[in-house]
Structure formats: C-alpha cells, structure tokens
Structure 1
Amino acid sequence: MDIAMQKFPNGIPTLEEVKKFNGADPYPETAWIWGKDDEIGRINLLTPARILSAQKSEIRDGDTVSLNWPMNLPTKPAFGRAPCQHRVANHPDGPMVFDDWLDMNIQSGSQWDGFRHYGHQTQGRFYNDLTPEEVLSGTRCGIQAVSNHGIVGRGVLLDYYSWCQQTGKPYDPFTSHAIQLEDLLAVAKAQNVKFQVGDILLIRSGYTAAYYEYEKSDPKKLDEAGSLHPTLAGVAQTEEMKSWLHDSYFAAVAGDAPAWECWPPKQWALGVLIGEMFDLEALAKQCKEKQRWSFFFMSTPLNMPGGIASFANAIAIY
C-alpha cells in the first residue's frame, strides 16, 4: 500500500490515472502499482485495518458456509482437464491405519487462479512483468505469496442468477451469456449492497445449479462443458466493465463457473486474483434467508512455492 501511495499521493488510482502514469508504455493499462517486488497484487488491499473492520461489521451470528465444491466435481472438468482421482489404502502399520492420495489438476475444481496461470497473450508477460521462463525456473509470484498473506476480509455476493430469474431474464449458464455491468449494478441495488475498497466480490452465474439440473435431465451437456473449448456464462469483457472492476478495487473476485469471465476472454491485466467453481448455492440460500449479502470471508491458499493455482479453501462467516 505504501508504494502505491507514493506513486499516487491522492490515493489508489483510477484506470485513467494508471494510463496517464504509464504514458508511452505499449500496454498503458497494466495496473502494476504495488512495486517491482510485489507478488500479491490487490491482496495488498486486505490490510489489518480492513480485516478488523470486516470482522466487526460482518460476524454477527457465527453461522458458517463452506464455498468449496466436492473435490470430485465436476466429473468432466472444463478445458479438457483430468478429473480428480482419490485413492484410499492401508498404511504399512496395519489394517487399522489408512492414508489417502489425490491425483488431480488443481484447476479442475473449486480453485484460485494464481498470477502464474494465464498471462497476457500479446504482451508475453504475467503479473508484474513475470516471464514464462521465470514461471518454469523460479517461484516469483507463486501461490505461496498469497498463502503467506491469506485472503481475509469482507465478502459480497451478487446473486445474478436469481435476479435474472426474478426479473424475467432467464438464461443458460452453459452458454456464452455475458453479464453486463448495468445488470450487476441492478443486482447490487436490489440487494442493497454498498461496495467497499478491498471487498472480495463473488458472482453467482448459476453454473453449479445448472450442473446439477443437467446431471439429471441431459448428461450430454456435461460432456460439452468438459470440452477443450466450452461455452460459459460470465462477466462481459466491455470497456465499462473493465473500468468499473479496476476502479472499485476489489481485493479478489470469484464465481461458480469454470471461468469468471464470459468465455473466450479478452486480455486484462488488473492484478486481481480470480476464483472459479466456488460452490455458491448454500451461500445464496443463506444470504436470502438473512437478507444480508455481505459476510466475513476467509481463504487459505496452498503454501506451494511456485504454485500456479490453489484449492479455494474458502468459507463465509456471518
């Protein structure tokens, strides 16, 4: 935070201010404002003061909701990834001792995309100018950096899927439905949500709900969803959406689909962690019952040096 304030004394910058600051840079929208040694991007916004404020305002009942989908789901992960394999066997100590093993692509289920996962395809760089060669040879910007900080703060759910059903705008989450900014803001207004700097934004697109429905009614849809090039509902990649996401300064964003953005994506480099395939069904139900769409959010990513991604390991507390 201190480095960002040194560069922008008037506070964290808008996207237009970043572009002006970067000047003649061939990629002027690159929002690497936390210093050349930074590895956690907007997780820097989760300061002790913001964490304490969230704890005081959001934890009232002590109720908890896990945001993690069962690790064996989806059975056919998107983008052609292999499903989770779980093995249980006796330990050599005897028949009353067991161990188990997991063999899986971490990004096949509820997970965080780290800053080493999907680079800027044109620029040839990852977060904070990290190169593909560095990804293969070192640990800079690995998921361990986020793990060492933790993702703890005020979470906010925008239940876009329910709002669309209630307002007569139904859609199929297994299609390339683009979630527009004006609709997200309408959801926030309907839920009486007021955003704060450092919020962890969760958007329910309905992927998990549709998955369970198709599992019963049309299993072939799950095969299509598990293809190398699936169609997925998600956040629209418009200029106004980009500016809003940048200027709102969310510490992290997540959703319930295999991609947070409408697929295929455009190239943004905002330095924000993206969570995918979070299980938001119980959370949406709890929020509706309590008429509260904000909560205390906690996640402890894997402490894997040089890791590309992590299990979500996320929980909401009311």
Structure 2
Amino acid sequence: MNRKLNIFRTSIFGLMLLPGLTFGADVASSPWGSDDEIGRLNLITPESRRAALQNLNPAVTYDLSVEYFIGMPSWQAAGDPHFQIWMTHTPKGTKVDDPLSVGDRQNDRVSYSGSAFSMYAHTGTHIDALNHFGLNGKIWNHFSAAQYLGDRGWQKTGAENIPPIIARGVLLDVPAAKQVDELSPGYRITREDLEKTLVAQDTVIFPGDVVLIRTGRMRHYNDAQRFMENAPGLGMAAARFLAEDKQVLSLGADNLSFEAFPSEDANNYVPVHTYLLAQQGVTIMELVDLEQLARDRVYHFAFIGTPLKLRGADAAPLRPIAIPYADAE
C-alpha cells in the first residue's frame, strides 16, 4: 500500500464504523435515529470531506454525467415518460406573438429563445432517494406510505434532503478485470468479481467511500435499444459485500437498472434496490458515465455529486465529477 492510501487509512475514512443495522424481511430502523431521512449519507462530516479533498490534481477533472436528448435511454417498459424538450420561445415566433408587448422593432433586435423539458425522475444520471423502493408499505426507517406519501410526493426522505456528496471515490472496472470490453447481457456481478477486481486494480475500499461499478454498457448509450436490453448488473451477494463488509457510503453504476434481471428472489423483483435503499440506507446512482475514468485507469478520486433539491421526489438528476489525486494510487 502506497503513501496516499496510508494517509487514507489513518484519516476519517479508516475510523468510520457503521452503527449496527437490523434487517430481515422488513425495512430497517436507522441507527441515526427515528427522524433520519438520509441513511448512510450521515457518514459525511466536515472531517471526511476534508480528507476526501486533500492532494487533488484538478487539472484533469472527469464529468461522470450523461447528456439528455430525445430518444435517450429511459424506463419505457414501465410506462414512465420519456425525456422531451420543446421550444417555448423562438426569435421568429416571438416576433409573431409579441408575448411581452414590446413591438416589432425590439423583437427584430432581440433574439429570444426559451425551452422547457419534462422527464421521469430516474432519467439520465441520477440518484435514488431512500423512498424509491420499500417493503410492505414502508421505506427506510419505517416511514409508511399511508402516513407520509401525499399527492405532492413523500414527506419523508425526499430528494431535497440529500446533501452534496463529497467523498473518496473508487471505480471498480469489472470488465477490465475479466479482460473483456464489457460484461455480457444479463451478467450478474458476483462478490468474487468484485474481489478479483480489487486485486487486479490494486484498489482498496474504505468505509465511507463512494463506489462506482463499471459494466461497460455505457459504450452503447447513444443506441437506446441496445443500451436498455438485458443489461448486466449487480447481484445480491455483491451488494452485501459492498454494503456490509465494505460499509460504503453510496453506490453507482453505468447501467439503467443497477441490478441484474431476472431477480434472484421469487418474492421480490428488485431485491438489490430494496436491500440497499430500505434495509441499508445506501443511496444508488445510475447511468454514471465511467468510460473516461476506465480509459485512464483512474481508480481512486475525490467524488463530488450535487443532486437537485426536488421536494418529495424519489430521485433527482445528478452532475457528478471525479477529481484524481495528485499522487497516483
């Protein structure tokens, strides 16, 4: 282990120990109290942020978000709205309509463009709030839909509560460790895959890290049909390894669904989501573009992600960035 990782070992990351969680067939009670709405994100402290932002090389900064465009990959199979964008003002239309009553002379001089867009909350690079999936009518920390879900969204664990995420980030390039360009359709990532990837990359995960998992599916992002069809994703054993053994802060991947289908659980069609969100308090990021990080073999970095503060929402668009450390790890 080199000098930089030794610094992290003795930093706040090496000292983080997650309070015990009890879970089974039901949602978990938060170890941070009955009012907690952000789960593992409570591990973000001034000390952890300071440690994550030490010794950076901002000359090379990676944008991990995708572009939004008509026809982009989205949850079409579930009937959710696609991304749409349309013009509300154009220079020519403004001259015809004169919506501000300023007259032809000013409308000829001032070229006015305006637009609007609509989309499902889980479109593009985004983060799932802890209310996205639950069990038996309840979400994380036993908040019930009957009591806290109104016509204007959730009154608990809404996306507005998610703080800016500043933490040490780790990339797990699973295809590279398996010596392939991308994982095969429907491939379910195992614990053994993750352990082998850590060895191949000479990478260490500390408690409180943001861990991003590359499947290689992002290579097909501009081909929505190919991107969405039978994507590889995380399996339950791998999720338990990261959440329990490694005590991660948050997880992300480059695919649309995060986990692989069909489900491993005959009684739960999204067991990885319910386990992470409702039983472990781990937020999930999807459609994270990891191709440039993988190309440059940047496996450790400062992760900065700031979701939109959408009140009551079960997800929010995210513009994450990765800043490598000045010392190559």
- TM-score using structure 2 length: 0.76
How do 1:118-267 residues align onto structure 2 when only pairs under 5 Å count?
118-120=133-135, 123-133=136-146, 134-136=148-150, 138-146=154-162, 149-166=163-180, 171-172=183-184, 175-212=185-222, 215=223, 221=226, 225=228, 231-238=230-237, 241-263=239-261, 264=263, 265-266=270-271, 267=274
Q: Which residue of 2 aligns with 1:284?
A: 294
- In structure 2, runs of 5+ residues without a counterpart are 1-15, 101-106, 264-269, 325-329
CA contact (8 A) 2:70 2:85 kept: no
SS in 2 for 1:108: coil
CA distance in 2, matches of 1:64, 1:73: 27
CA 1:272–1:85 in 2, change beyond 3 Å: closer, same or farther?
Answer: same
What is the aligned-residue identity percentage?
25
CA 1:162–1:144 in 2, change beyond 3 Å: closer, same or farther?
Answer: same
- In structure 1, runs of 5+ residues without a counterpart are 1-9
SS in 1 for 2:35: coil
Find 1:67's aligned residue among 64, 67, 77: 64
How far off is 1:161 after superposition? 2.1
CA contact (8 A) 2:172 2:213 kept: yes
Deviations 1:212-239 (A, max 9, x none): 5xx3xxx8645xx3xxxx533111113x
Q: Which amino acid aligns with 2:306?
A: T
- TM-score using structure 1 length: 0.78
CA distance in 2, matches of 1:135, 1:270: 21
Find 2:120's aligned residue among 100, 105, 124: 105
CA 1:74–1:255 in 2, change beyond 3 Å: closer, same or farther?
Answer: farther
Q: Which residue of 1 aligns with 2:321?
A: 315
How far off is 1:170 after superposition? 6.2
How far off is 1:100 after superposition? 1.6
CA distance in 1, matches of 2:256, 2:321: 19
User: How many residues matched?
Assistant: 276
Q: Which residue of 1 aligns with 2:34?
A: 36
Q: Which amino acid aligns with 2:141?
A: N
How far off is 1:278 after superposition? 1.0
CA contact (8 A) 2:182 2:216 kept: no
Q: Which residue of 2 aligns with 1:273?
A: 283
CA 1:170–1:69 in 2, change beyond 3 Å: closer, same or farther?
Answer: closer
CA contact (8 A) 1:76 1:82 kept: no
Please report the RMSD computed on the Cα atoms of aligned residues, expressed in angstroms: 2.5
CA distance in 2, matches of 1:285, 1:26: 41
